[in-house]
């Protein structure tokens, strides 16, 4: 059996220091953040003084601007012991927030990780808020890791050690946990679909659970049948790889009362479309179709690692959507776990069919709120583009809470409507509902309307991450592939419950 690339945690290689003299710091590279216009009064100005006004001079000559995410390397700068000074731009000072710092630190790391380095030192500014500090650290950790899991010679090499000067210890520690969380989600998405399938995903979940002390149950096909998860089983039937449902429990309130929140993820480890087969172009990146599951696994593990005082359940529906001879068919009618009958019009609209059962499982646990994340529809990407996640809800105050958390983390989201007028679109002639809308218009909303049927009265928000979960092309701050989108938002939400 071939060995898949394993995931490595790096939080333990992130440190703070009490040494604050920038000029004599022993490091392979020193990273300093610069706002647009001038060196300001922060740490950049200390570097400027130590180097006899080098930064100011470069700004004056137009060689250095502080433009957002622009990285400028200076080698052997006089006045510093560091042999490499990297200046990363933050853009306009008044627009700097946690998201900008995440991406700026990530850009710097990404640049520096192109060569092996044993120590890289980041200089935090004293006026950053705790959240900004954490997000900068998380960004720096995500930037040093790329998607070249299977490349013999890596394009990006994680630093031996990362040090934060004038970083507060707790925030640097939390930031490093967040960074590991984002990277775990990216890693799982980046694994090849022949390496990551329902059973192997469940093994990753077991590993994450044992690391953070979470309880975990994995339902195999026998248990799924006993539990009436016929919708999940139907989607999985076209593959020789059986489905799994992962349930992770974390009780941070030290009682086992009802979960404060359920994090539900779509874990389609490969989406061929089934008998409603995708085109080759449409299928190429469909290893990413478990990104919702990866997001929830990563968020839950990080929440547990941070020991947040909440009770949580994470539920991930894992299937491979294939075309085997037992595959579910157009015209099939499935009785979902809830008892609702579903007529299948398109086997490529499989995510909602899987989630129907998973949502019903957590609903019957009587959780206070449900959030799901899924690479659910191409229509959501048509509506909002590649960078923005779509939000859909049956409870505006929960959705507002998600919006606020996303805003705090600098992750773009946009809510789409759930007007009752859309309900008629999923009515079926032969069953309670059908698994697609009447036409292709409003496809992200009709998908959400389908999910809504399975949450009952529980406050629920659905996050369609079909756009932001996967980047076909690299960005300055992140390599292509899995992005870890929404992991930070969900953790931020859990911290503010
Ligand atoms: N996994 C896809 C959605 C998707 C598309 C994710 C692009 C990431 C990038 C989903 O299962 C799907 O195929 N949805 C169909 C639904 C349609 C048949 C109603 C779609 O969006 O085309
Ligand atoms: Zn599909
Ligand atoms: Zn899918």
Asked whether the beta carbons of 442 and 76 are under 8 A apart, the reply is no
Q: How many CB atoms are closer than 10 A to CB 397?
A: 8
| pLDDT tens digits, one per residue of 309-343 | 999 999 999 999 999 999 999 999 999 999 999 99
- How are beta strands 244-251 and 261-271 bridged, if at all? unpaired
% of the chain with per-residue pLDDT over 90: 93
Residue 379 has pLDDT above 70, yes or no: yes
> Which phi-psi region, left, alpha or beta, contains residue 78 (left: φ > 0; alpha: ψ -120 to 50)?
beta
What amino acid positions are annotated as catalytic residues?
Answer: 278, 352
Average pLDDT over residues 221-249: 98
Average pLDDT over residues 462-475: 97
Selected residue with higher pLDDT from 473 and 20: 473
Give me the chain's average pLDDT, please.
96
Give CA–CA dist 165/33, Å, rounded.
Answer: 12
Average pLDDT over residues 470-494: 96
pLDDT of residue 2: 62
**And the tokens for 290?**
């478990």
| pLDDT tens digits, one per residue of 168-203 | 899 999 999 999 999 999 999 999 999 999 999 999
Q: Is any atom of ligand 1 closer than 6 Å to the C-beta of 464?
A: no
User: Which region among 197-206, 252-261, 462-471 has the lowest average model confidence (pLDDT)?
Assistant: 252-261
Residue 157 has pLDDT above 80, yes or no: yes
Residue 164 has pLDDT above 60, yes or no: yes
pLDDT of residue 257: 81
Average pLDDT over residues 431-450: 96
pLDDT of residue 116: 96
Atom number, ligand 1, closest to the C-alpha of residue 437 = 19
Residue 33 has pLDDT above 60, yes or no: yes
pLDDT of residue 1: 55
| pLDDT tens digits, one per residue of 37-65 | 888 888 999 999 999 999 999 999 999 99
Atom number, ligand 1, closest to the C-alpha of residue 346 = 18
Q: Does the reported pTM lie above 0.75?
A: yes
Give CA–CA dist 413/386, Å, rounded.
Answer: 11
Q: Is any atom of ligand 1 closer than 6 Å to the C-beta of 351?
A: yes
% of the chain with per-residue pLDDT over 70: 100
Question: Counting Cβ atoms within 10 Å, is residue 360 exposed (0-12), middle (13-18) or buried (19+)?
Answer: buried
**And the tokens for 54?**
């080098």
pLDDT of residue 220: 98
**Nearest-ligand number for the alpha carbon of 377:** 1
What are the backbone dihedrals phi and psi of residue 120, each rounded to the nearest 5 degrees, phi first? -120, 130
For a substitution probing ligand 1, which of 377, 390, 422, 439 has the most ligand atoms within 8 Å of its CB? 377
Q: How far is the CA of 393 from the centre of ligand 3 (A)?
A: 20
Residue 207 has pLDDT above 90, yes or no: yes
Q: Is any atom of ligand 1 closer than 6 Å to the C-beta of 378?
A: yes
Q: Is any atom of ligand 1 closer than 6 Å to the C-beta of 322?
A: no
């Amino acid at each position: 059996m071939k060995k898949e690339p394993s995931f490595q945690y790096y939080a333990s290689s992130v440190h703070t220091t009490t040494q604050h003299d920038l000029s004599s710091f022993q490091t392979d590279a020193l990273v300093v953040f610069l706002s647009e216009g001038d060196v300001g009064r922060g740490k950049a100005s200390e570097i400027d003084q130590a180097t006899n006004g080098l930064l100011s001079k470069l700004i004056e000559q137009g060689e250095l601007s502080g433009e957002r995410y622009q990285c400028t390397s200076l080698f052997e700068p006089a006045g510093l012991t560091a042999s490499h000074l990297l200046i990363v731009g933050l853009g306009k000072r008044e627009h700097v927030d946690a998201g900008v710092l995440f991406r700026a630190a990530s850009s710097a790391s990404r640049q520096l990780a192109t060569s092996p380095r044993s120590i890289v030192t980041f200089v935090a500014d004293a006026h950053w808020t705790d959240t900004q500090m954490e997000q900068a650290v998380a960004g720096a950790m995500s930037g040093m890791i790329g998607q070249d899991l299977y490349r013999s010679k890596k394009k990006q090499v994680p630093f031996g050690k990362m040090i934060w000067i004038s970083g507060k210890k707790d925030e640097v520690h939390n930031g490093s946990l967040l960074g590991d969380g984002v990277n775990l989600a990216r890693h799982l998405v980046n694994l090849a679909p022949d390496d990551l399938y329902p059973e192997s995903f469940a093994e990753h979940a077991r590993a994450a659970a044992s690391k953070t002390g979470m309880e975990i149950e994995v339902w195999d096909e026998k248990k799924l049948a006993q539990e009436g998860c016929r919708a999940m089983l139907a989607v999985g039937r076209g593959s020789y790889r059986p489905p799994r449902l992962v349930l992770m429990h974390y009780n941070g309130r030290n009682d086992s009362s009802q979960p404060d929140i359920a994090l539900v993820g779509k874990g389609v480890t490969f989406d061929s479309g089934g008998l409603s087969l995708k085109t080759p172009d449409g299928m190429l990146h469909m290893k990413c179709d478990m990104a919702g599951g990866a997001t929830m696994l990563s968020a839950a593990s990080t929440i547990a690692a941070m020991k947040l005082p909440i009770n949580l359940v994470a539920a991930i529906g894992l299937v491979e959507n294939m075309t085997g001879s037992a595959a579910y068919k157009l015209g099939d009618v499935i009785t979902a776990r809830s008892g609702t009958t579903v007529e299948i019009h398109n086997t490529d609209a499989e995510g909602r069919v899987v989630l129907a059962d998973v949502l019903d499982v957590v609903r019957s646990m009587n959780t206070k709120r449900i959030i799901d994340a899924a690479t659910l529809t191409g229509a959501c990407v048509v509506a909002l583009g590649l960078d923005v996640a779509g939000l859909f809800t049956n409870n505006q105050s929960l959705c507002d809470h998600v919006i606020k958390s996303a805003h705090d983390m600098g992750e773009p989201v946009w809510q789409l409507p759930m007007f009752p007028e859309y309900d008629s679109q999923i009515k079926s002639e032969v069953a309670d509902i059908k698994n697609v809308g009447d036409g292709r218009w409003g496809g992200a909303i009709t998908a959400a309307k389908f999910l809504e049927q399975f949450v009952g009265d529980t406050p629920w928000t659905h996050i369609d991450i079909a756009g932001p979960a996967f980047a076909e092309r690299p960005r300055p701050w992140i390599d292509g592939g899995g992005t870890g989108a929404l992991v930070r938002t969900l953790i931020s939400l859990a911290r503010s419950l």
